[in-house]
Every structure is written in C-alpha cells, then in structure tokens.
C-alpha cells in the first residue's frame, strides 16, 4: 500500500465512469480536484456524502473545482446510484482496487465481529498543478463537504 502525503504529486490513474467513459486524473490539470473515496453505493453514509457534494457542486465549480467519487463498486452500480439520488458528481469504479491501494485508503475494518479489508472514507484536495494540498482520512460525513469547501477557499486566497 502506498503512503500518500500532503505536498506530494497526486498519483495519476484512469478509471471507468458511470457514464461509460474512461476518466484520468491528468485530464483535470489546471483545475482543483476534490477526490473522495467511499466504501459502497447506496449505503446511508455514502449516499449522504454524495448528495451533500452534489448539493454544493455549483459552489465547487464556481471555484474551478471538479468533484470525483471513487469506490470499488462496478460501473452499473454507480449508474443506478446516480439515477436514484440524482447525483451530479463524477463517479468512478475501481473494482480492482488499484487506485484505492495507490491512495492508501484500504484498511482493516470490523463489522459484526468480523474483520475485512475495506475502504476508509477519505478525501484528497488536489491543486491545479496536481499536488495534494489537503487530506482527510476516516471522514465523518456530517459537515465534511462544508469543511472541504472552506479549505478550498482558504487555499485559493492564500
């Protein structure tokens, strides 16, 4: 598993989107990128996070930022997730978990007394030059989108 830290260049990747096209991180050079990793489509926390990012998407866009969500769910699951909740963020599928590993967001989780390797909810704020400016790990959904937006504004004004 890779160690990704603030200040380093964001690891590049290309993944399929729910719209059936390949999306590469390098395609967004020159723009801010909010890259968030989440465990599973249509679960309560993941739905809330995606809906929250969608509700504030115009604020991010006005600051020159794109919002991208990545999970290990397949493209078809993302498509249904988008339609069901009218999501506007870009959703990418990492079924092979290679990008999840690159960003160090896989970890041991416990559920019903059993341990498994799962996605640790994390967000990376990447600047227009492709550098990671801020990392949030073990994200709590409530208030997170506002915190990311506030940090983006702070970084742009400094």
> Which domains are assigned to the chain?
29-157 (3.40.30.10)
* pLDDT at site 2: 64
Q: Rounded distance, CA 76 to CA 18, Å?
A: 7
Instruction: Give the residue ranges of the chain where pLDDT is below 70.
Output: 1-2
pLDDT for the residue numbered 111: 75
Report which secondary-structure segment, H or E, holds 116: strand 114-119
pTM: 0.94
The per-residue pLDDT for 1 is: 54
Phi, psi torsion values for 39, nearest 5 degrees: -70, -50
Q: How far apart are the first and last CA of the chain?
A: 33
Provide the token pair at 53.
């990012």
Write down the pLDDT at residue 112.
82
What does residue 65 show for φ and ψ, rounded to 5 degrees? -115, 145
Task: List active site positions.
Answer: 46
pLDDT of residue 116: 77
């Amino acid at each position: 598993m890779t160690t990704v830290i603030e200040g380093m260049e964001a690891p590049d990747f290309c993944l399929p989107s729910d719209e059936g096209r390949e999306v590469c991180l390098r395609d967004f050079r020159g723009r801010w990128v909010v890259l968030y990793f989440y465990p599973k489509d249509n679960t309560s926390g993941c739905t809330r996070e995606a809906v929250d990012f969608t509700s504030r998407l115009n604020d991010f866009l006005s600051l020159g930022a794109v919002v991208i969500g990545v999970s290990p769910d397949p493209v078809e699951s993302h498509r249904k997730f988008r339609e069901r909740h009218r999501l506007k963020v870009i959703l990418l599928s990492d079924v092979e978990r290679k990008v999840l590993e690159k960003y160090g967001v896989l970890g041991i989780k416990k559920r019903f007394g059993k341990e498994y390797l799962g996605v640790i909810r994390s967000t990376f704020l990447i600047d227009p030059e492709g550098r990671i400016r801020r990392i949030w790990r073990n994200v709590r959904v409530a208030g997170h989108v506002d915190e990311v937006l506030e940090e983006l504004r702070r970084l742009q004004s400094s």
